Amino acid sequence: MKIAVTGAAGFVGSNLIDELLLGDHTIIGIDNFSTGYRNHILHHKENKNFIFHKLDLSANFDSNIFEDCDCVIHLAALADIRYNKSNFKECLNKNVTATNNVLEACVNNNIKKLLFASTCSVYGDALVFPTKETEVKNQTSVYSSTKIASEMLLEGFANTFNFHAFSLRFVSMLGQRYSHGHVFDFTKKILNNEPLNVLGSGDGIKSYLHIKDAVKAIEMLINHRSKNYFEAFNVGHSDTIKLKYSVETIVNYLNYKGEVNYGEGLSGWVGDVPVIAPSIEKMKALGWNPKFSIQKGITDTIDYLVDNQWLLNS
């Protein structure tokens, strides 16, 4: 297959491309390196099945880059929810405008399948756990509202132009090349011998997913056939972990003996959803199920960061 991957140099995109290039595919990678790293894709430089375009998807770009693609996987975004209060305009540009531009480019090239990286944050303060795909409620951050707005665009375009658009509502992912989130922040602090100041009480409960399981879910949906032009899928772990226990895992794994201070309240920052526990039954019905535990995700992330401290310091 010929597959375009936006956000190619990011955490998810680069892991996905590593896996796809093991198969019989040609990959068109697209990134502007705003939060991604050249290092993450440099090892494919000589691979004739990998073609890379450095460009900004929120600006005008030549839609021919999608020419003859069987599938477009749109991962590019401003992905770090914590800063969406201070840079909401950038969030709108990189998440909604870029998605609109990608959709237009898909239409121009008669693309038959688009996969989109959304988030389980779109459930906001959910009332039902495990939360099913039908439970979208209130948006608690600009980030999540840009994702649900993008999903609506996907649905409208898919039904108008008759192509399949699947939205993958991910929980937070862990593993190699992870570059934003609490495991990153705390590993960095511990390696610098600084105190750990946890945002919030640490009582928030969340599902996390190993990047290897996330990549398998994406691969499965590349090949999924549906009678609906638009569908959303939760992509998470059926297990959850309290932030406190995640911090404990990090502290024990790195044998940290310093200070750990907890804040107040369930939410760590504006827009933080304190309980994320999606139902993954829909993905399981397709034959996908996470193989890695959340603990393994945390320790694999720490191992990677310890071995790649350039990322911690970039």
Ligand X SMILES: NC(=O)c1ccc[n+]([C@@H]2O[C@H](COP(=O)([O-])OP(=O)(O)OC[C@H]3O[C@@H](n4cnc5c(N)ncnc54)[C@H](O)[C@@H]3O)[C@@H](O)[C@H]2O)c1
DSSP notation for the chain: -EEEEETTTSHHHHHHHHHHTTSS-EEEEEE--SSS-GGGTGGGTT-TTEEEEE--TTS---GGGGTT-SEEEE--S---GGGTTTTHHHHHIIIIIHHHHHHHHHHHTT-SEEEEEEEGGGG-S-SSSSBPGGG-----SHHHHHHHHHHHHHHHHHHHHT-EEEEEEE-EEESTT--SSHHHHHHHHHHTT--EEESS-S--EE-EEEHHHHHHHHHHHHS---SSSEEEEEE--S--EEHHHHHHHHHHHTT--S-EEE-SSS-SSTT--SEE-B--HHHHHTT----S-HHHHHHHHHHHHHH-HHHHT-
Least Cβ distance, residue 238 to ligand X (angstroms): 17
Subset of residues 166 to 185 that bind ligand X, contact rule: CB under 6 A: 170, 172-173, 179
Least Cβ distance, residue 255 to ligand X (angstroms): 26
- Which residue, 260 or 311, has its beta carbon nearer to ligand X? 311
How many residues interact with ligand X (rule CB under 6 A)?
28
Contact region with ligand X (CB under 6 A), list: 72-80, 132-140, 195-203, 225-233: 72-80
Residue of 44, 94, 164, 206 that binds ligand X (CB under 6 A): 94
The verdict on 241 binding ligand X (CB under 6 A) reads no
- Which residue, 79 or 148, has its beta carbon nearer to ligand X? 79
Subset of residues 1 to 60 that bind ligand X, contact rule: CB under 6 A: 7, 9-13, 30-36, 56-58
Q: What is the largest CA-CA distance in the chain?
A: 58
Residue of 76, 105, 142, 199 that binds ligand X (CB under 6 A): 76
Subset of residues 111 to 140 that bind ligand X, contact rule: CB under 6 A: 117, 119
Least Cβ distance, residue 98 to ligand X (angstroms): 5
- Which residue, 57 or 247, has its beta carbon nearer to ligand X? 57
What is the SS3 assignment for 197?
strand
- Which residue, 5 or 196, has its beta carbon nearer to ligand X? 5
Least Cβ distance, residue 177 to ligand X (angstroms): 8
Could you list the residues that contact ligand X (CB under 6 A)?
Answer: 7, 9-13, 30-36, 56-58, 75-77, 79, 94, 98, 117, 119, 170, 172-173, 179
